[in-house]
Structure 1
Amino acid sequence: MKKPALAAALVVAIVAAVIVAVIFLNRTPEPKPTPSASGDTAVSNLAAPDSHRLQKAPDGSPVLVEFLDFECEACRAAYPFVEELRKDYKGKVTFVIRYFPLPGHKNSMTAALAVEAAAQQGKLQQMYSTMYERQTQWGEKQTSQASVFRGYAQELGLDMAAYDRAVASPATKARVEKDYKAGLEAGVEGTPTFFLDGEKVTVDSMEAFRSLIDEAVK
């Protein structure tokens, strides 16, 4: 292998290793999780009928569920990988996201409410992507970023009166909290946490993650 090609390969390998470390080793922890149901109940609730599906495969296809926090840096690091998986397994795997806003993040619940409000107007994926792509603008702030998220909603062309009602609605917060509770019941201890067909994904590389999906698809 020529030196430039070897150098490029080494850079790719190093970047991949860093991403894996961030995703699988440095997940943002949830302090003292308190599961409230049996494992069997938790598995059955991982992909509830009203859970948000980024894309859907035919019935009987593998289901990958991610519990996420939009303010979590590890979730943001996982985002490009998840998008790559969605592209590669389109029509073969159903991708589900569940809200798991961690109390240690000042704006994680506010972000989840904004995404849920957008979802109610059919803009789930657009707001989901915007949150991660602009996380460096609003993450780790100690003041409310609600106005920033409202600006994102305006950019997406949402009905702002409906958006404001949704963000303020107890029903919207209850929808987010439902996902959070399901995560606790499933034993989620940090974000991002992935489940493939009800089994928690515990791997140490992106290649191993893909291998699990490949086996499930077969």
Structure 2
Amino acid sequence: MSKNARLSLVIIAVVAVVVAGFLLFTRNDTTAAPQSAGGGVTVVEYLDLECPSCRAAHPGVERLKTEYGERVTFDVRHFPIPSHRNAELAAVAVEAAGAGGKRDDMIRLMFDAQQEWGGQQTSQRAVFAGFAQQLGLDAAAFEKALDDPALRERVLAQRAEGSKAGVTGTPTFFINGTKFTGAPSYDALKKAIERELS
């Protein structure tokens, strides 16, 4: 191999290493700023099912989901606040309902009845099992899922991810990776979404 050929190979190798390093360090870090994986608009909401402010925001979010359809992706992630005695179990119950295709329905039931179970200092497991029954989920499978360490770990991983992204309270929204500031009213969220769509 000639000296020039060897030099060319070395230069190509160095360029490849530099490009790979650049790509590695400039890639999107979804744990730091949750955002869209595709080209559309993604709204990520960190919520606590026992939080009254999350319950208040929920109807507006549901209305936005209906209005935008497939144009906007809404992604709910859990951020159970430790001082809320049943928030973590409620999040696990939502994930357990998700196995039966009823995740969104369970969230709706949780918020509809939040004033009855929220703020209680005793476990509301029986209440959540009752919600599963209302949704027609398999009772034994749901009970088993409530004790599944993998579901609890999923919830805690989402909370850790939220903390890393700067979530300190609920609800916290990210629209295409940008943290939404201000009160998350229907109108304010719609305005932020429209900015991203335009």
TM-score range, shorter chain: 0.7 to 0.9
Aligned twin of 2:55: 76
SS in 2 for 1:154: helix
SS in 1 for 2:69: coil
Q: Residues of 1 paired with 2:35 and 2:45: CA distance?
A: 10
Among residues 31, 34, 58, which one is paired with 1:46 in the alignment? 34
Aligned twin of 1:211: 191
Aligned twin of 2:142: 163
Match of 2:29, as an amino acid? T
Structure 2 residue 129 is matched with structure 1 residue 150 = yes
Q: Residues of 2 paired with 1:150 and 1:47: CA distance?
A: 33
Q: Residues of 1 paired with 2:74 and 2:82: CA distance?
A: 25
Alignment root-mean-square deviation, CA: 1.8
Point out the structure with max Rg over C-alpha: 2
Q: Which has the higher helix share?
A: 2
Does the 8 A contact of 2:44 with 2:75 survive in 1? Answer: yes
Structure 2 residue 119 is matched with structure 1 residue 131 = no
Aligned twin of 2:69: 90
Does the 8 A contact of 1:64 with 1:95 survive in 2? Answer: yes
- Percent of aligned pairs sharing the same letter: 44
SS in 2 for 1:147: helix
Give the unaligned 5+ runs of structure 2: 1-27
Match of 1:80, as an amino acid? P
SS in 1 for 2:29: helix
Q: Residues of 2 paired with 1:133 and 1:212: CA distance?
A: 27
Q: Residues of 2 paired with 1:206 and 1:152: CA distance?
A: 27
Q: Residues of 1 paired with 2:150 and 2:167: CA distance?
A: 23
TM-score normalised by the chain length of structure 1: 0.73
Structure 2 residue 167 is matched with structure 1 residue 183 = no
TM-score normalised by the chain length of structure 2: 0.80
Give the unaligned 5+ runs of structure 1: 1-39, 50-58
Does the 8 A contact of 1:47 with 1:96 survive in 2? Answer: no
Match of 1:85, as an amino acid? L
Q: Residues of 1 paired with 2:76 and 2:164: CA distance?
A: 16
Does the 8 A contact of 1:203 with 1:209 survive in 2? Answer: no
Are residues 81 and 173 of structure 1, via their aligned partners in 2, closer, same or farther at CA, if it must alter by over 3 Å?
same
Structure 2 residue 189 is matched with structure 1 residue 201 = no
Match of 2:191, as an amino acid? S
What's the offset of the Cα at 1:42? 4.8
Q: Residues of 2 paired with 1:110 and 1:195: CA distance?
A: 24
What's the offset of the Cα at 1:87? 1.5
Q: Residues of 2 paired with 1:43 and 1:130: CA distance?
A: 29
Are residues 67 and 173 of structure 1, via their aligned partners in 2, closer, same or farther at CA, if it must alter by over 3 Å?
same
Structure 2 residue 151 is matched with structure 1 residue 172 = yes
Q: Residues of 2 paired with 1:207 and 1:159: CA distance?
A: 39
Aligned twin of 1:118: 97
Q: Residues of 1 paired with 2:163 and 2:97: CA distance?
A: 25
